[in-house]
Structure 1
Amino acid sequence: MTLVKLIEPVPAEELGRVHFIGIGGSGMSGIARILLKRGVAVSGSDARSSDMLVELRELGATVHVGHAASHIRDVNTVVVSTAIRDSNPELGEALRQNVRIIPRAAALAAVMTGRVGIAVAGTHGKTTTTSMLTVALQKCGADPSYCVGGQLVTTGLGADEGTGEVFVAEADESDGSFLMLAPRIAVVTNVEADHLDNYGDPEAVYDSFNRFVERIGSTLVLCVDDPGAARLEPIARARGLKVVTYGEGEADIRVTEVVPQGLGVEFEVAGHGRVKLSVPGRHNALNAAAVIAVALELGLPFEEVRDGLAAFTGAKRRFEAKGVAGGVSVFDSYAHHPTELAADLAAARDVVAGGGRVIAVFQPHLYSRTRFFAAEFGAALGLADEAIVLDVYGAREDPEPGVSGALVAGQIPLPSAQVSYAPDRSAVPALVAGRARPGDIVLTMGAGDVTELGPHIVAELHAR
């Protein structure tokens, strides 16, 4: 994957008939849904059929299974994701016909045009914070449009068109495409080194966020506890932006008295009141503080925002409960960066609260990320009582010599009896069931197909 070429977005009403190559993807399908609800003619294709394709057909889209040049007929705009290869026949035909071709982020920017755009950026916490903000605004009656990188538990959707003037979007920095967005308000949760296969070095990552600040219309909300995010404050102020800070340090929205409450957490917002969440972890208290900062900036009363946050029950693959069997609770997490692993494992420890152990099942994502962060992954997994490491989920990357799950397993500071390298994914449910005891938490972690293991682990535990 390479950094996408940045272009200024075209307003949605000027896109004409829109064709999505890879329309079944979570990000692409969400934008297609919004355009359909606005009455825009939409077509698309995907490599295989899915429930999402069926749903889009029911909304009025013309959807094809399989890619063919003939699908590019009477099309004004073609939307592609970074996963689409140059050899795709539809992309080739669009180039031959000189049809406008835009990346997904430009299509997102197009549907945000004319709304009060709120973009949530950061190396970690984007999906949860965007989801939390969406639910809180819905409960406050603002009925925002939204486009999230995951699915809301409350609606089962990752994107939808609302009746209000606000549009909430997750801003993806992985390929630099968040620089196509021009939000009125932006949140930056944190800035750390990641996606170094694209950026090359950490400073290039920081520079992309500096450039993101230049795209903001009025207000930057940032976490002062994170050094990378805090670096943006003087840059934003120099541009004349309003800066609202949040965190446990000296901040405009200051979080204090954080208390774990089983699968939730409580905390105080200085000068405002107490907040209760139904999702665990200190990091989620900070995510909620970002939501409060944005909502207050929009003029919403704290009491309504607090109640909206209480109604948030999570996003798919963000510490998502998969089942309980034999007294063992199984959860699934999208965590695929060392900081994310550490946050979720700390949250898991809060949940067990000394009454059980934490068993981490981790699948590294991308060979390049595994090579860059093997030691950091190992250190994070040391927060578990036992760790099982799968082989690398390569996704778009080819294997690299010497880079495997064993590289991570060898860096975990636990006794060897408590660490397993499991290259055979099918053997993992039995391995976990043989180790887990009543009161334990099992947490499957990673951005690949490790998410499929949760139900199998639950079934294996039931069978014991």
Structure 2
Amino acid sequence: MRIPVPDEILPAADLGRVHCVGIGGAGISAIARIMAARGIAVTGSDDHDTPFLPALRELGVTCHLGYDAAHVGDADTLVVTTAARDDNPEVLEAQRLGLRILPRSAGLASVMTGSRVLAVAGTHGKTTTTGLLTSALLAAGADPSYAVGGVLTATGRNADAGTDDLFVAEADESDGAFLHYRPHAAIVTNVEADHLDNWGTEEAYHRAFEEFVDTIDPCGFVVCVVDDPGAAGLARTARAQGLDVVTVGESADADLRIHDLALDGATSTCRISRGGADLGELRLRIPGRHYVLDAVAALALGLQLGFPFDALAEGLAGFTGTGRRMELKGEAAGVRVYDSYAHHPVEIRGDLEAARALAGEGRVVAAFQPHLVSRTRIFGEAMGVALGAADEVVVLDVYVAREDPDPEVTGLLVARAVPLPPEHVTYVDGLGAAAQVLAERSRPGDLVITLGAGDITGVGPLVLDLLLPGGA
């Protein structure tokens, strides 16, 4: 459902009683949590229970399961998820009553009013980088508000209302939300075409990031990871417009440069220099080169704000991840099981590279659930090619989410493109079948990883149960 962003976005304190449609999602639940922490009366509904709801209920937020017009109650404002259907009864009731209706982007902008917003944008890595930046600032003595698209392992929450004027926000480009935040500073991790169901063309997608840079405070700055061609081009555009730009990466011309990168299983180390001067060592407890780039981008933003290297580096070193980003679900029968939100070919490739490092001498056994019909139509073949980095691959059907099914666009598009012998690629129907195949194909020393933005996250625990002695 597309809800227009109002010309004037009121501060959250002026919204009256707020009802959140889709409160179980990462984005809406973060908004609700911050509002509730600030004393705003909040209720919400979702069509199913999610891991975000128990923490909201602990704050006194009423969270209904299922959508019903009666749930709107005496609300003054609705904040609505982009995943809501056009016939959602709560939205229809709010329209009938003439209530204020805000899309998720405006809801987040409302709670950020009056803060120095630090926005994290990019095609890939937003959630991890937002978590890294939050952890670094907390270690450096700041107390920012934050809204992340996943649960921070360190805090057990995806959002908090801090006491200082900083607000760290994951800035989602999928529906143009990031064009409404007016940040003081921003990170752009990379720019590579995605969400073409909304943007239409690759050119339009790139233009959206140029518009995003235009929204940054002229007295602020942007951090760009210049190892990525899209972000490097954006850095050049931003500098030409007179904006202060800090570049990071392994590239020789990066302002904050990575040296001596070493990836060793679940850890990564490197040294950081600025202008030829060595700043020190960075140690991370997350695997993979792409996560190192995310961490250095967070470091650069913290340094630009005036926080000391050692304190920021300590916060980054203590970061152990966010939910669904190379998240260890457990180990059974000598098999480790991880879960990842990766749903784009580049993300799949990066997480399988990290999985390979983690697996050591073991094999990588991957299951992938394509997300969205439109994305699978465009990137299905590339998804399959990226999955070829695993030793065994299980592919599920498309998780349609907010779209309608298309019999011409199924997980078979992905499975048929995997460049492995046919006996190492299995197409299955359903989460239970996927778990069964993963358990059968894995052996001691292997690493199982589930990939996708849909409900495949529930497969990992099923695999662990099957691997246990006497597992069903």
TM-score w.r.t. the length of structure 2 is: 0.93
What is the DSSP-based 3-state SS (H/G/I as helix, E as strand, rest coil) of the residue aligned with 1:439?
coil
Please give the residue correspondences for 1:90-109 in structure 2 after superposition, counting only pairs within 5 Å: 90-109=90-109
For 2:2 and 2:378, the matched residues in 1 are separated by 17
1:251 is the counterpart of 2:257: no
For 1:60 and 1:429, the matched residues in 2 are separated by 36
For 1:68 and 1:374, the matched residues in 2 are separated by 36
For 1:8 and 1:206, the matched residues in 2 are separated by 26
Q: What do the CA deviations read for 1:286-337 (whole angstroms, capped 9, x no partner)?
A: 0011011011011110011111111101000111111112221111101000
Change (3 A) 1:207 1:345: same
Please give the residue correspondences for 1:40-55 in structure 2 after superposition, counting only pairs within 5 Å: 40-48=40-48, 52-53=52-53, 55=55
Judge conservation of contact 2:431–2:458 (CA < 8 Å) in 1: no
Please give the residue correspondences for 1:378-457 in structure 2 after superposition, counting only pairs within 5 Å: 378-457=384-463
Deviation at 1:425, TM superposition (A): 3.1
Q: What do the CA deviations read for 1:343-375 (whole angstroms, capped 9, x no partner)?
A: 00111111223x111111111111221111122
Give 2:310's aligned amino acid.
Answer: E
1:236 is the counterpart of 2:238: yes
What is the DSSP-based 3-state SS (H/G/I as helix, E as strand, rest coil) of the residue aligned with 2:45?
strand
Deviation at 1:71, TM superposition (A): 4.0
Deviation at 1:149, TM superposition (A): 0.6
Change (3 A) 1:288 1:319: same
Change (3 A) 1:2 1:318: same
Change (3 A) 1:61 1:321: closer
Long gaps (5+) in structure 1: none
Deviation at 1:54, TM superposition (A): 5.1
For 1:164 and 1:15, the matched residues in 2 are separated by 22
For 1:78 and 1:7, the matched residues in 2 are separated by 16
Change (3 A) 1:412 1:50: closer
What is the DSSP-based 3-state SS (H/G/I as helix, E as strand, rest coil) of the residue aligned with 1:117?
strand
1:462 is the counterpart of 2:459: no
Change (3 A) 1:356 1:63: closer
What is the DSSP-based 3-state SS (H/G/I as helix, E as strand, rest coil) of the residue aligned with 2:224?
strand
Aligned to 2:271: 268
Aligned to 2:29: 29
1:305 is the counterpart of 2:312: yes
Deviation at 1:176, TM superposition (A): 0.9
TM-score w.r.t. the length of structure 1 is: 0.95
Aligned to 2:214: 214
User: What is the number of equivalent residue pairs in this alignment?
Assistant: 463
Deviation at 1:238, TM superposition (A): 3.2
Aligned to 1:334: 341
Q: 2:382 aligns with which of 376, 379, 382?
A: 376
With 275-284 and 89-98 compared, the bigger mean Cα shift is at: 89-98
For 1:325 and 1:89, the matched residues in 2 are separated by 44
Aligned to 2:130: 130
For 1:178 and 1:394, the matched residues in 2 are separated by 24
Deviation at 1:258, TM superposition (A): 1.3
Give 1:24's aligned amino acid.
Answer: G
For 1:264 and 1:172, the matched residues in 2 are separated by 28
With 421-430 and 249-258 compared, the bigger mean Cα shift is at: 421-430
Give 2:163's aligned amino acid.
Answer: T
Give 1:259's aligned amino acid.
Answer: A
Judge conservation of contact 1:126–1:170 (CA < 8 Å) in 2: yes
What is the DSSP-based 3-state SS (H/G/I as helix, E as strand, rest coil) of the residue aligned with 2:133?
helix
For 1:109 and 1:84, the matched residues in 2 are separated by 19
Please give the residue correspondences for 1:281-320 in structure 2 after superposition, counting only pairs within 5 Å: 281-320=288-327
What is the DSSP-based 3-state SS (H/G/I as helix, E as strand, rest coil) of the residue aligned with 1:447?
coil
For 2:294 and 2:243, the matched residues in 1 are separated by 21
Deviation at 1:88, TM superposition (A): 2.4
Deviation at 1:439, TM superposition (A): 1.7
Judge conservation of contact 2:5–2:106 (CA < 8 Å) in 1: no
What is the DSSP-based 3-state SS (H/G/I as helix, E as strand, rest coil) of the residue aligned with 1:347?
helix
Deviation at 1:14, TM superposition (A): 2.4
Judge conservation of contact 1:7–1:106 (CA < 8 Å) in 2: no
Give 1:295's aligned amino acid.
Answer: G
Judge conservation of contact 1:146–1:168 (CA < 8 Å) in 2: yes
Give 2:379's aligned amino acid.
Answer: F
Change (3 A) 1:429 1:93: closer
For 1:246 and 1:2, the matched residues in 2 are separated by 36
With 18-27 and 382-391 compared, the bigger mean Cα shift is at: 18-27
Change (3 A) 1:391 1:47: closer
Please give the residue correspondences for 1:359-374 in structure 2 after superposition, counting only pairs within 5 Å: 359-374=365-380
For 2:215 and 2:103, the matched residues in 1 are separated by 18
For 1:15 and 1:133, the matched residues in 2 are separated by 29
Aligned to 1:351: 358
What is the DSSP-based 3-state SS (H/G/I as helix, E as strand, rest coil) of the residue aligned with 1:272?
strand
Change (3 A) 1:167 1:259: same
Judge conservation of contact 1:9–1:180 (CA < 8 Å) in 2: no
For 2:412 and 2:94, the matched residues in 1 are separated by 44
What is the DSSP-based 3-state SS (H/G/I as helix, E as strand, rest coil) of the residue aligned with 2:399?
coil
Aligned to 1:224: 226
Q: What do the CA deviations read for 1:17-62 (whole angstroms, capped 9, x no partner)?
A: 2222232322212111111221222233333566754543442435
Change (3 A) 1:360 1:68: closer
With 16-25 and 97-106 compared, the bigger mean Cα shift is at: 16-25
With 56-65 and 328-337 compared, the bigger mean Cα shift is at: 56-65
